[in-house]
Structure 1
Amino acid sequence: MLVILYRTLISTFYAQNAGFFLVIVLIAFGFMRPIEHEALIAATLGSPFLLALAAGLWLLYTLKTTAYVRRQLRAPEHLFLQTFCLLPSPRRWSLWLLVQTALLVPILGYGGWMVARGLRYGAHEAIGAIVGVQGLLLMGGAWANDYRLRHPNPEGPAVPRLGFRLPYVLFFPTYWLRHEPVSMLLTKAFSGLLLAGVCRLYPTDEYDQRLLLIGLVLSVATHAQVGSQVSAFEHRYLLILPNLPLAWYQRLGRYALTYGLIWFPELLIVLRNCPVAVGLDYVVWLWLTGWGWLLFLHALSYASDRSPDRWLTGILIGVVVATLTIMFGLPVGAWLAIGWLGAVVGGYRFKSPPR
């Protein structure tokens, strides 16, 4: 049974969130040196506010895992997991604890690092708080998963129907907000923090505009899973979409409006935190570049032969190559042209969503 749970819940979770974890790894180990990690941990251990902030981030990540498990249990192809209820409660709980532990490995690992540093610094109260919070998150996540297994169709409060017709470009953003809010919150939060961070870092040293471009690449990479989420949404709720008499450019235009809406908060963040030395025109070019690359990733994610492993490898290689190319001086105009050209070519190639 553990092998089945691993293949349906654990491995697929990490595969579908490859872009999210890629950005985390790049930030944690690509841009931060070990001494900076040590300084951050020391500051967190000595500050209740920073410790509470870390606990809040861990809570968001735990909610992300439980939301994913809930979706998997509800998926038609995974209805066989309902037989999991037939196992004795102790056996079922032990399996859920193993599954939740595997899903929480990133935060448990970092928490273990903080505990080790706390023992060195003698921060026993902080250690107790870290162990207690992570223990509660582990137990709470396992309980939430087991509860959803035993109550696959809980009754919720009725939502009043809106009195206006929702435009097509708002279909997925509305679904994302209402049914996958944790995924949306984490994606936009990390993307916004990345852009705000590089904008605030820009005036602290002799950086040039390449730093902003690298931040843009990482911000776009946090949206790497959105294309597959759009595809899953359309396959579940818009089965008629491939049969609609729409030309490829009409489909591309609708997707462009949808992704423009998704990408719009980043424009506000960059404008709000724009360094004084950077012109407004460059900020607009950056945002348009990110918009085009989101569309390009959308077209690539619709390839019928794409596997999660290949997608992760492609994103990783793409981020590394893009960073190196930026360091060698490829301007933002070239990135803008490549992104939108790729989106147009991809939009023509995938004239309708794959069946």
Structure 2
Amino acid sequence: MARVDLRHARLSWRGAATAAALLLCLVAATLAWLGHLAGSPISTGGTVVVAPGQTLAAVLDALAGAGQLDHPRALRAWARLTGRGDRIIAGEYAIRPGTTPARLLADFAAGRVLRHAVRLPEGATFRAALGAIWAAPAVTATLRGRSDADIMSALGSPALPAEGWFLPDTYFVTRGETDLALLRRSHAAMRARLDALWAARGANAPSSAEDAVTLASLVEKETGRADERALVAAVLLNRLRQGMPLQIDSTVIYGLGGSFDGNLTRRHLQTATPHNTYTRRGLPATPIALPSEASLVSVLHPAPVDYLYFVARGDGSHVFSRTLAEHNRAVDCYQRQQAARCRS
């Protein structure tokens, strides 16, 4: 019968245990090092674009090649160990100060792409708003050279003018979004907001929602004061109901287009255009700007006053009058600069 060498067996067991312990220590140290890499802030900021179909390995290698990341292979290993090795969504991502690889990988997995602000300002013309969209580097321009009518047809609203039918606001876009897609959002927002406001309109509101947009664009251009919008709206609606021409300078300027040099003259007031409210009665042919929600509210709830005239004081505010005689006195005061008569 063979004899068992217990001493040799004990030595073999101790060697295996020691090797296992060393291996565990090595694994633990490696995991700790990988965790340290993943939790250390990336050295430089900026952005990274993940193309459709691009792998995480390719993105990490590109970041390393650009000097933004160290040890891309180690981070790929950490991503596999944490279950993020194949979770990456295409788009543009921000690398902000303090961003760690772990955070960036989490952003990739969740699709937390960078969003860029594009402002469509109140009172801007449609073409000026389109220019603001084209000036945004993140937006892809597809509408250059296309007419307003073509654009409205593409948006599914061929019967509406482009002017006035987009809600001024700050919109957030992801890189590559087209100008048409952004306009579609703005147009839908205007229609939805107008529908809600129209449903709650007051008794003295205009006869149609389309007229309300046009009137709101005039209010937007005539005053920037919140406390005057409903008064200006009331003057416009009162004049329309009495069959008086609106005689709004901003409609004349809009009708002149690029030929206007900044100096409004009597000749301009007498130049017939579809928007000149001195030479034609009723509303101009289209809105003349993007009206704010506040201006829309003002024409749907005009002030209960019988004013028919207003004139600028020169400080951003206006004097409102009921009669032509009152208005002429106000014009003498503030437009013809006969200030002594204002104080008398």
TM-score range normalised by the length of the shorter chain: under 0.3
Q: Identify the structure with the greater helix proportion.
A: 1
TM-score by length of 2: 0.23
Q: Identify the structure with the greater strand proportion.
A: 2
Question: Which protein is bigger by CA-based radius of gyration?
Answer: 2
TM-score by length of 1: 0.23
Higher relative contact order by CA 8 Å / sep ≥ 6: 1 or 2?
1
